[in-house]
Amino acid sequence: MKSLRVDISKCTACKQCELACSWHLTGQFNPAKSAIKAFVFDAIARYVPYACFQCDEAWCMNSCPISAISVDVKTKAKIVDKNSCVGCKVCTIACPFGTISFDSVTGKVYKCDLCDGDPSCVTVCPTDAILYKDVDTASTPKMSEWALRLTDAYSIKEANL
Amino acid sequence: MSNSYTDKLLRVNLSEGTVKTEKINRDWQKEFIGGRGLATKYLISETDSKTDPLGKENKLIFVTGPLTGTSAPTGARYMVVTKSPLTGTIACSNSGGYFGSELKFAGYDMIIFEGASDKPVYLSIYNDDVVIKDAAAIWGKGVWETEDILKSVEGDSDSRVAAIGPAGENKVLFSCIVNEKHRAAGRSGVGAVMGSKKLKAIVVRGTKGIGVSNPERFFEDINKSKEILREAPVTGQALPAYGTAVLVNVMNEYGGLPSYNFRSSQFANAEKISGETIADTRLVANKACFACTIACGRVTKLPDNASEKYIVSTSSRNWKDAGGGPEYENIWAMAPLCGIDDIDALIKANWLCNDLGMDPISYGATLACAMELYENGAIDEKTAGMNLNFGNAEALVKMVYDTGHRSGFGDYLAEGSYRLSKRFSHPEFFMGVKKQEFPAYDPRAVQGIGLAYATNNRGADHLRAYTIASEIMGIPEKTDPAETEGKAALTKLFQDATGVVDSSGLCIFCTFAIGLPEIVPMINSAAGSDYSVDDALKIGERIWNMEHLYNLSAGILGAEDTLPKRILEGKIAEGPTKGMVNKLDKMLPEYYQLRGWDDNAVPSKEKIEELGLG
DSSP β-ladder status, B121-126 and B199-205: parallel
Task: Provide the pLDDT confidence category of residue A156 given band limits of 50, 70 and 90.
Answer: confident
A contact test, residue of B207, B214, B301, B347 with most A CBs within 10 A: B207
Indicate if the pLDDT at residue B58 is higher than 80: yes
- Whether B368 and B193 have beta carbons less than 8 Å apart is answered as no
pLDDT of B292-323, one tens digit each? Answer: 999 999 999 999 888 778 877 656 677 888 99
Q: Could A39 and B98 be called an inter-chain contact, meaning their C-beta atoms sit closer than 8 Å? A: no
Q: Which runs of E-coded beta strand occur in B41-180?
A: 60-64, 78-83, 90-95, 110-114, 121-126, 129-134, 160-163, 177-179
Average of per-residue pLDDT across B34-47? 98
Which of B368, B403, B436 delimits the end of a domain?
A: B436
Could you tell me which residues are beta bridge partners of residue B160? Answer: B204
Distance from CA of B467 to the nearest CA of A (A): 28
Q: Could A43 and B318 be called an inter-chain contact, meaning their C-beta atoms sit closer than 8 Å? A: yes
Q: What total of structural domains would you count in chain A?
A: 1
Phi/psi for B574 (5° steps) reads -155, 175
Any domain includes A87 = yes
Q: Is the peptide bond before B476 cis (omega within 30 degrees of 0)?
A: yes
Q: Find the closest chain A residue to B2 by CA distance.
A: A28
- Whether B399 and B456 have beta carbons less than 8 Å apart is answered as no
pLDDT of B66-80, one tens digit each? Answer: 999 999 999 999 999
Do B562 and B488 reside in the same domain of the chain?
yes
pLDDT of residue B199: 98
Q: What is the CATH number of the domain that holds B550?
A: 1.10.599.10
- The CA-atom distances, in angstroms, between B418 and each of B41, B461, B571 are 29, 15, 22
Residue numbers in B near A127 (CB within 8 A): 295
For chain B, the distance separating the N- and C-terminal CA atoms, rounded to the nearest angstrom, is 32
Q: Find the closest chain A residue to B67 by CA distance.
A: A29
Q: Is A104 exposed, middle or buried (0-12, 13-18, 19+ CB in 10 A)?
A: exposed
Phi/psi for B52 (5° steps) reads -70, 120
Which of B157, B189, B205 delimits the end of a domain?
A: B205
Residues B229, B230, B233, B235, CA torsion sign: positive
Q: Could B158 and A14 be called an inter-chain contact, meaning their C-beta atoms sit closer than 8 Å? A: no
Which of B157, B178, B205 delimits the end of a domain?
A: B205
Q: Is the peptide bond before A119 cis (omega within 30 degrees of 0)?
A: no
Q: Cα separation of B99 and B404, whole Å?
A: 23
Comparing B313-327, B425-439, B478-492, which segment has the lowest mean pLDDT? B313-327
Do B265 and B186 reside in the same domain of the chain?
no
Residue-number span of the structural domain to which A32 is assigned: 2-134
DSSP letters, B210-226, are: B--S-HHHHHHHHHHHH
- Whether B455 and B557 have beta carbons less than 8 Å apart is answered as no
Across the interface, which of B105, B211, B286 has its CB nearest the CB of A31? B105
Q: What is the CATH number of the domain that holds B354?
A: 1.10.569.10
Helix (H, G, I), strand (E, B) or coil at B91: strand
Q: What is the CATH number of the domain that holds B147?
A: 3.60.9.10
Task: Provide the pLDDT confidence category of residue B260 given band limits of 50, 70 and 90.
Answer: very high
pLDDT of residue A43: 87
Q: State the alpha helices, DSSP H only, in B487-572.
A: 487-504, 516-527, 533-553, 565-568
pLDDT of B366-405, one tens digit each? Answer: 999 999 999 999 999 999 999 999 999 999 999 999 999 9
Do B13 and B78 reside in the same domain of the chain?
yes
User: Could you give the maximum distance between any two Cα atoms of chain A, in Å?
Assistant: 69
Average of per-residue pLDDT across B457-468? 97
Considering only CB atoms, which residues of chain B are within 8 Å of chain A? 2, 69-71, 98, 101, 105, 157-158, 181, 206-212, 215, 226, 230, 284-293, 295, 297, 299, 301, 318, 321-322
Considering only CB atoms, which residues of chain A are within 8 Å of chain B? 12-16, 19-20, 22-23, 26-33, 39-40, 42-47, 124, 126-127
The number of helices, as runs of H, and strands, as runs of E, in chain A is 5, 8
- Whether B450 and B482 have beta carbons less than 8 Å apart is answered as no
Chain mean position to CA B600: 27
Do B113 and B14 reside in the same domain of the chain?
yes
Helix (H, G, I), strand (E, B) or coil at A106: coil
pLDDT of residue B313: 67
Across the interface, which of B210, B230, B284 has its CB nearest the CB of A28? B210
Distance from CA of B98 to the nearest CA of A (A): 9
Q: Cα separation of B295 and B226, whole Å?
A: 13
Any domain includes B293 = yes
Nearest-5° Cα angle at A16, A15 to A19: 90
Any domain includes B63 = yes
Q: What total of structural domains would you count in chain B?
A: 3
pLDDT of residue B614: 86
- The CA-atom distances, in angstroms, between B440 and each of B393, B493, B536 are 19, 21, 29
Cα dihedral value B344, B350, B353, B356, nearest 10: -50
Distance from CA of A80 to the nearest CA of B (A): 21
Q: Cα separation of B4 and B444, whole Å?
A: 43
Residue-number span of the structural domain to which B67 is assigned: 8-205
Q: Which runs of E-coded beta strand occur in B36-186?
A: 60-64, 78-83, 90-95, 110-114, 121-126, 129-134, 160-163, 177-179, 183-185
Other beta carbons within 10 angstroms of residue B492's beta carbon come to: 22
pLDDT of residue B98: 98
CA-closest candidate to residue B402, choices B392, B394, B414:
B414
pLDDT of residue B314: 59
Nearest-5° Cα angle at B223, B220 to B225: 110
Do B512 and B564 reside in the same domain of the chain?
yes
Q: Cα separation of A24 and A34, whole Å?
A: 9
Cα dihedral value B279, B280, B281, B287, nearest 10: 30
Other beta carbons within 10 angstroms of residue B245's beta carbon come to: 26
Do B497 and B404 reside in the same domain of the chain?
no
Q: What is the CATH number of the domain that holds A40?
A: 3.30.70.20
pLDDT of B320-377, one tens digit each? Answer: 889 999 999 999 999 999 999 999 999 999 999 999 999 999 999 999 999 999 999 9
